[in-house]
Structure 1
Amino acid sequence: MATQKIDFKKTAPVLLTFIVMGFVDIVGVSTGYVQKDFNLSDTLAQFLPFMVFIWFFVFSIPVGVIQDKIGKKRMMNTGLLITFIGLIIPFINYSFVSVLIAFIGIGIGNTIIQVAANPLLQEVIFKEKLSSFLSLSQFIKAITSLLGPIIATYAALTYSDWRWVFIVYAGVTLLSILWLYVTNIEENIKSEKPASFRSCMKLLTNKFVLPMVIAIFLIVGADVGMNSNIQGFLMKLQGLSLEEASYGISIYFTALMISRFSGAILLQFLKPKVFLTITTTLALVGMILIIVSSSPTMAKAAIFIVGLGAGNLFPIIFSIAINKMPSRANEISGLLVMAIVGGALLPPIMGFVNTHVGVLGSLLILVLCFAYMFLIPFISSNNEE
């Protein structure tokens, strides 16, 4: 950027796309309602997140390569449009098949949005503030994640139809498409040479990039695993009803929202690697408390603590990666977003373990995912340029 002054006329529509990005988290509360509506098993129900997040693995690198050619803003609006189409499907026709199709559309659209969002934000925010603004953008995303279960549960109890949440989301997505379309954003950060599938995959041999990709895989898997299993945790461990357990998702996303807002402030003063260690410790403490909880109140408090710890892990890791190699931002963004496939793969594994071993086994998977984050500060320090 040519100036250190932030232009909020350009920043605001980019930040709005992070609200749309958060719409993908509707899969969490949707899993419980769809499982109930169509009498699905735990294992089959956890394939709903799979149908959303598998596309991060399939399309992230191709999107990163195409984005390098057509531009970040154009790529973003393509993702927003596909998301809009996916959101209106369940309201037009509600069946298990139509829900799967809708989640495929939401997943593909969200893949494109995630690949484009952070590099596009990089165009309107200078480097020194990127970590802070990435946490702020995740805070904005968390607002959506928080409201989703509340809107769905309110609609279910008031109008006997939780699907109204999709119409609300579709309206916001349409607004985002129009606002970004009319906003002029100069894309000045260019690749050293044109990105290709080969150049992206070659980055996986980098001793710094590969651990970052693994970290994103695990943290997104843990986040989606928490999101889509909170209802089950509270129902099975604490004996709550589906509707009451659904509010546990809002507790988790409230904590994420508080965490990311706080992170946007604290990262103005703390180094990302130090903050990463602190928040990882907090997430692990929360997980242990879930396991030993003796009451619904204690379990909900533990879920809140996990959210406080987990909230900033994704933006911190993302900012560390693209700040180290800004000229390869499109390729690294593609790889990191590809790793979001962890959100597709870990929930079915948790569902399988839950069915055959028990709920404590699935909780242990989340503990291991968070524990890996302790390695990142050492890996980053050992690969300083």
Structure 2
Amino acid sequence: MSSQLGKTNYSRALTVLTSLFFMWGLITSLNDILVPHLKAIFTLSYLQAALIQFSFFTAYFVMSFPSGYLVEKLGYKRGIMIGLATAGLGCLLFYPAAGAKSYPFFLGALFILASGITLLQVAANPYVTLLGKPETASSRLNLTQAFNSLGTAIGPLVGSVLILAVAVKPAQELSGLSPEQLAAYTAAEAGSVQTPYLILTALLFALAVIIGLFKLPQVKEGDTPADAPQGNAEYHAHASVWGYRHLVLGAVGIFTYVGAEVSIGSFLVSLMGQPQIAGLSEAVAGKYLALYWTGAMVGRFIGGVVMRKIKPGHVLAFNALVNALLIALAMSAGGKAAMWGLIAIGLFNSIMFPTIFSLAIEGLGKFTGEGSGVLCMAIVGGAIVPLIQAFFADRIGILYSFVVPLVCYAYIVFYGLKGHYADFTAVRKVAAAKR
């Protein structure tokens, strides 16, 4: 593959792809602003507000396989263009959703928006792993995903200024409003999301046009990874993508990681508003939330370098263990220590998604496209895990509900230490023993 494409082409393509990672990072982290904002406007419980993330991340489960099929038929470039256009349509639908003052309409718009981002993920993530040497795929994807984290860091700041700037009235004050006043208030608050999402609509459509005009290099997955043992029929015995243990366990890893990351981001603003924690307003808490995502950006730049010297699986396990300890510390300490402990998780979250993804997709050969679809389908963890945490938050309190992401990180420790080993590693050992 390197003989077909020069390094210059790789660099140009990776530069263009960073804009995609940035955009979907920004859009995804805006959900963390929508959760407390719409929760207050429509007077929702934690469980009802968690439907925002549920609607968004359910699209990954529903649309990943169709997206994988589309990318297989149309190629990476066209898949990316269609994904951008679909995401743009979802952003555009926020305007009528706000005008109708309808929570279900918002949820529907989020599903369409996420369907477009799902297609982008299915196309762009494996494409990055193929644009270079297999042994540096984790490092390369981490560096590219760092710009995704830049978007997630900027998203809460944008949302705090444009969406949370006007203080939401407390429930007791709302109860004193007449029906006409309440309707006008709800319309004004719901309408605060219109301008940001119209801007996103324009940017996404513009990116689709730019990608269409840009010549991306053509890549093709090989049937066998470069370091797989040659002449071993056992390696080719898997009849489907589901036969690869490290991929299946990696899908569980993606499920738990995205679930934990989204849960923490979704409930941090509400937690920081608790008097016994920090007592911050939503607008101020939204700005602190940006530190959580900024940590992920910084960590990915560091991780991209570290994993050129240390095995990616070991780095993954270490980071997951640190995060489990930080959550345990937060639940036991409370107060501002809990706030800062949970914010620090962003730094150690940094390398997890791209590392799990690249480890899980290693050695799939002709099944790489399908494997990407499986992994992106597992992003539905961002829909399920926040609902589970919301269930516990309504019953045992928001601070102790963070035990849910703690369990998720415990699984990731296992995957980093044991679960990620690809099937052909075992085949190599068998071949060596026979020799």
Structure 2 vs 1, CA of residues 129 and 99 (structure 1 numbering), >3 Å: closer, same or farther? same
- Given that 1:204 and 1:210 are in contact with CA atoms closer than 8 Å, whether structure 2 keeps it comes out as yes
Matches of 1:122 and 1:156 in 2, distance apart? 36
Three-state SS of the structure 2 residue aligned to 1:232 is helix
Match of 2:162 in 1: 155
- Given that 1:280 and 1:310 are in contact with CA atoms closer than 8 Å, whether structure 2 keeps it comes out as yes
Instruction: Quote how far apart the aligned CAs of 1:191 are.
Output: 6.5
1:87 aligns with 2:124: no
Q: Which amino acid aligns with 1:184?
A: K
Structure 2 vs 1, CA of residues 6 and 220 (structure 1 numbering), >3 Å: closer, same or farther? farther
Match of 1:197 in 2: none
Q: Which amino acid aligns with 2:308?
A: Q
The root-mean-square deviation of aligned C-alpha atoms, in Å, is 2.4
Q: Which amino acid aligns with 1:313?
A: M
Instruction: Quote how far apart the aligned CAs of 1:313 are.
Output: 0.8
Match of 1:213 in 2: 251
Matches of 1:364 and 1:114 in 2, distance apart? 29
Q: Which amino acid aligns with 1:225?
A: S
- Given that 2:289 and 2:343 are in contact with CA atoms closer than 8 Å, whether structure 1 keeps it comes out as no
Match of 2:22 in 1: 19
1:109 aligns with 2:116: yes
Matches of 1:364 and 1:201 in 2, distance apart? 39
Structure 2 unmatched ranges of 5 or more: 167-188, 225-237, 428-435
Matches of 2:93 and 2:138 in 1, distance apart? 36
Matches of 1:381 and 1:69 in 2, distance apart? 30
- Given that 2:129 and 2:358 are in contact with CA atoms closer than 8 Å, whether structure 1 keeps it comes out as no
1:226 aligns with 2:257: no
Match of 2:63 in 1: 59
Structure 2 vs 1, CA of residues 229 and 175 (structure 1 numbering), >3 Å: closer, same or farther? same
Q: Which amino acid aligns with 2:266?
A: S
Structure 2 vs 1, CA of residues 65 and 314 (structure 1 numbering), >3 Å: closer, same or farther? same
Match of 2:359 in 1: 320
Matches of 2:193 and 2:288 in 1, distance apart? 17
**Superposed CA offset, 1:2-29 (max 9, x none):** 3462422222112211112212222111
**Superposed CA offset, 1:164-193 (max 9, x none):** 332343333233212211111232314759
Superposed, 1:65-76 pairs within 5 Å as: 65-76=69-80
Matches of 2:323 and 2:394 in 1, distance apart? 25
Provide TM-score, normalisation by structure 2.
Answer: 0.81
- Given that 1:58 and 1:338 are in contact with CA atoms closer than 8 Å, whether structure 2 keeps it comes out as yes
Structure 2 vs 1, CA of residues 154 and 201 (structure 1 numbering), >3 Å: closer, same or farther? farther
| Aligned residue pairs, count | 379
2:401 to 357, 362, 381: 362
Q: Which amino acid aligns with 2:83?
A: G
Structure 1 unmatched ranges of 5 or more: 194-199
Instruction: Quote how far apart the aligned CAs of 1:282 are.
Output: 2.1
Q: Percent identity?
A: 24
Matches of 1:177 and 1:353 in 2, distance apart? 41
Matches of 2:164 and 2:24 in 1, distance apart? 26
Instruction: Quote how far apart the aligned CAs of 1:32 are.
Output: 0.9
Q: Which amino acid aligns with 2:17?
A: V
Matches of 1:163 and 1:259 in 2, distance apart? 33
Structure 2 vs 1, CA of residues 251 and 337 (structure 1 numbering), >3 Å: closer, same or farther? same
Out of 136-145 and 357-366, give the one that drifted further.
357-366
Three-state SS of the structure 2 residue aligned to 1:131 is helix
Match of 1:272 in 2: 312
Structure 2 vs 1, CA of residues 335 and 157 (structure 1 numbering), >3 Å: closer, same or farther? closer
2:241 to 194, 203, 207: 203
Out of 308-317 and 260-269, give the one that drifted further.
260-269
- Given that 2:94 and 2:193 are in contact with CA atoms closer than 8 Å, whether structure 1 keeps it comes out as no
Structure 2 vs 1, CA of residues 72 and 284 (structure 1 numbering), >3 Å: closer, same or farther? same
Three-state SS of the structure 2 residue aligned to 1:125 is coil
- Given that 2:249 and 2:420 are in contact with CA atoms closer than 8 Å, whether structure 1 keeps it comes out as no
Instruction: Quote how far apart the aligned CAs of 1:225 are.
Output: 0.6
Matches of 2:367 and 2:150 in 1, distance apart? 30
Q: Which amino acid aligns with 2:250?
A: M
Instruction: Quote how far apart the aligned CAs of 1:294 are.
Output: 4.0
Instruction: Quote how far apart the aligned CAs of 1:66 are.
Output: 2.4
Matches of 2:338 and 2:400 in 1, distance apart? 17
Q: Which amino acid aligns with 2:21?
A: F
Structure 2 vs 1, CA of residues 138 and 151 (structure 1 numbering), >3 Å: closer, same or farther? same
Match of 1:185 in 2: 216
- Given that 2:320 and 2:412 are in contact with CA atoms closer than 8 Å, whether structure 1 keeps it comes out as yes
Where has structure 1 moved over 4 Å in runs of 4 or more? 157-160
- Given that 1:28 and 1:228 are in contact with CA atoms closer than 8 Å, whether structure 2 keeps it comes out as yes
Match of 2:177 in 1: none
1:144 aligns with 2:151: yes
Instruction: Quote how far apart the aligned CAs of 1:43 are.
Output: 0.9
Matches of 1:338 and 1:79 in 2, distance apart? 15
Three-state SS of the structure 2 residue aligned to 1:365 is helix
